[in-house]
Amino acid sequence: MVKLEHKKARLVLRLGDLKLEWAIERRYWRNPLIAVSCLLVLPLLISGRADLVSLLTMASIYACIAIPLTWQITGTSRMNFGPQLFVGVGGFTAGLLGIHAGLGPWQTLPIVILVSLACALLLSPLTIIAKGLYFSLITLLLPLIFLEITYYRSDIFRGETGISGIPHLFDLGSISLNYITGCYFSIALALLFLFIVDKVMRSRLGLYAAAINDNEDVANAVGLNTNRYKVVTFCITSEMIGIAGWLMAHYYGTFAGVTYLPLIFMIKILLMVMIGGRGQLYGAVVGAYFVAFLEYFLTGIGPVHYVVFPLILLILLFILPEGLYGLYRKHRYREYYPTIKVRRKEI
Amino acid sequence: MLLKVDNVTKTFGGVHAVRNVSFSINKGETVGLIGPNGAGKTTLLNVIVGTYKADSGKIELDGNDITTKPPYKICHLGISRTYQLPQAFWDLTAIANVAVAGLCGKHRPDMSYGDAMLEASHCLELVGLFGKRNILARDLTLYELRTLGLARALATTPRLVLIDEAMAGLNPGEALRAVKLIRRLKEEYHLTIFWIEHIMKIIMEAADRVVVLNYGEKIAEGPPKEVINNPTVVEAYLGKKHA
């Protein structure tokens, strides 16, 4: 008979004479492999329910937007209020090419990358010219202008109804199989983005980003070319957000500016980024999944999320200005700031 | 001659913050810059490091024109500075603060993160801040922030260090320690120091030469003993009656 007991610091499994022990240490729970394997098993468990699979996909795509955004916020030391502009750019490029030129998802991807890179390069001087509030205001207005254009030129962008009939990402015969594959693909993309940004944040580039976020003038004075760094950061992250837009267009097969470009979508993204703490990478991942699931539960009540999301954001900014990470930092001060061990150099 | 400032003028609107100032600094010298409040001392320093662009005039480092270069390039050429109001990367630990300077201070893309940390710890050791390496900059005291500024300046491997009021806000004991520290660093690293200071006693002892600014203009230059008896300088500080 299997006997499972949970002692204070170890998990013991007894099966007859066989005894298996695992030490439980706190660091094991932070092992990313656990979270990754959970994410990989979850779609299989819920594969019977299409709405949940779709929800998980949506959450992963949200994460694809929130993860690069955290890097952008710290790396440019500016709060971007309009990341959905690049969702729109990526999505419309993919959609228009898909229906007019008849290109498949893999053929539109390089073009989406090029187009969003061009847009990012065009807008990147903003990170040098505009500071603080002005940068936020300009980036807030840009997607709204784009939204107006989609109404005005509804012969191209199809205004309220949006583009439909975009080729799907995978065509494997059965619909449920397509959904599951799309879900896995979105999770994989989110994990890829997480991996890239995590690597960057742990490298010297992450140190530069933290320095710029803290004090741009001093960073420049100690020899960091801040302008170049900010432009490069802005371009790479906008690029990643554009790819998230591409995924949205090809996953749903439709893309409407009215869904992704208005303010309410920005508030969702803002909530994701702020819930974990401004510019906290793992906080943004939690935030993305939280927002997607909250949205799912709120749709049962009615269209209340127009009120609820801003309200949550407001309460959050009052109660937890530093987000969940701030709470964690307050209680586990020593763990949050890991001691850097250095060998003492002989003088 | 390491640094040569030639007829530099800087105006903000109608205010002449620095007007036709010229002087030079030789290698290995300690040059003091004194003057009453609002004389344009910090502005002059900001013009030298490139934070402000000079309206006219020329600044040369080792014969290279650095007047229009951006601050990070001037830092790469070997000028680093400290701040009057201590500035730091507040959310980084002390050692990370110095490591950023070590990594950016010169073109060394081959230097690894670990090497930079090691070098940063060495710099912290020199200024006596090694024990506080894992403390956030925002939690350091004023004296520690000033020494952190020195360590950060040192990590960029400078030839010329511009010190902006290293003593402001320190008590006499701390000020003495800071002076000793700066002297020791100067000797060990063969630095040239350009030192803005309000406390006359310290500048009289430490500086080889003193430049005096008043209303943005240079009114005197020379050895400290001569300058302090110069009637124009006394007038600028104490008024006409004492001159």
The two beta strands, B160-164 and A163-164, are unpaired
B71 inside 8 A of chain A by CB? yes
Q: Cβ–Cβ of A221/B71 closer than 8 Å? A: yes
Note whether B173 and B90 are within 8 A (CB): no
CATH homologous superfamily of B3-78+158-242 equals P-loop containing nucleotide triphosphate hydrolases (3.40.50.300)
Q: At what angle do helices A204-214 and B113-127 cross, to 10 degrees?
A: 50
State residue A102's pLDDT score: 85
Place of tokens 């205001």: A137
* B79-81 β-sheet, strand order: B79-81, B160-164, B192-196, B30-34, B209-214, B217-222
Q: Cβ–Cβ of B100/A208 closer than 8 Å? A: yes
Domain boundaries, chain B: 3-78+158-242
B34 to each of B40, B51, B164, B192, B228, how far by Cα in Å? 10, 20, 11, 17, 11
Instruction: List CB contacts (< 8 A) between A334 and chain B.
Output: none
Name the residue facing A214 among B75, B89, B156 (closest C-beta).
B89
* pLDDT tens string B111-168: 888 888 888 888 999 898 888 888 888 889 999 999 999 999 999 989 999 998 888 8
Instruction: List CB contacts (< 8 A) between B100 and chain A.
Output: 207-208, 211, 219, 222, 224
3-state helix, strand, coil in chain B (%, to 5): 45, 25, 30
* pLDDT tens string B73-86: 999 999 999 998 88
Q: Cβ–Cβ of A339/B134 closer than 8 Å? A: yes
Note whether A313 and A274 are within 8 A (CB): yes
Q: What are phi and psi of B31, to 5 degrees?
A: -110, 130
Nearest residue of chain A to residue B154 (CA atoms):
A222
Of A165, A8, A4, A149, nearest to A85 (Cα)?
A149
Q: Cβ–Cβ of A210/B75 closer than 8 Å? A: no
Name the residue facing A218 among B89, B91, B105 (closest C-beta).
B89
* pLDDT tens string A256-278: 888 899 988 999 999 998 888 88
Q: Which domains does chain A have, with CATH numbers?
A: 1-30 (no CATH), 32-314 (1.10.3470)
B168 inside 8 A of chain A by CB? no
DSSP lists the bridge partners of residue B162 as B81, B194
CA angle B58, B60, B65 (to 5 degrees): 75
Alpha-carbon distance A139 to A132, whole Å? Answer: 11
Interface test with B, best of A212, A214, A230, A333 (most B CBs within 10 A): A214
| pTM, to two decimals | 0.88
Confidence label for B72 from pLDDT (cuts 50, 70 and 90): very high
The mean pLDDT value of chain A amounts to: 85
B45 inside 8 A of chain A by CB? no
User: How far is C-alpha B79 from the chain's CA centre?
Assistant: 9
Q: At what angle do helices B113-127 and B172-189 cross, to 10 degrees?
A: 130
B193 to each of A41, A211, B153, B169, B207, how far by Cα in Å? 63, 26, 12, 21, 9
Note whether A213 and A71 are within 8 A (CB): no
B98 inside 8 A of chain A by CB? no
Name the residue facing A210 among B91, B130, B134 (closest C-beta).
B91
Residue A34 burial class via C-beta count within 10 angstroms: exposed 0-12, middle 13-18, buried 19 and up:
exposed
Q: What ipTM goes with this model?
A: 0.89
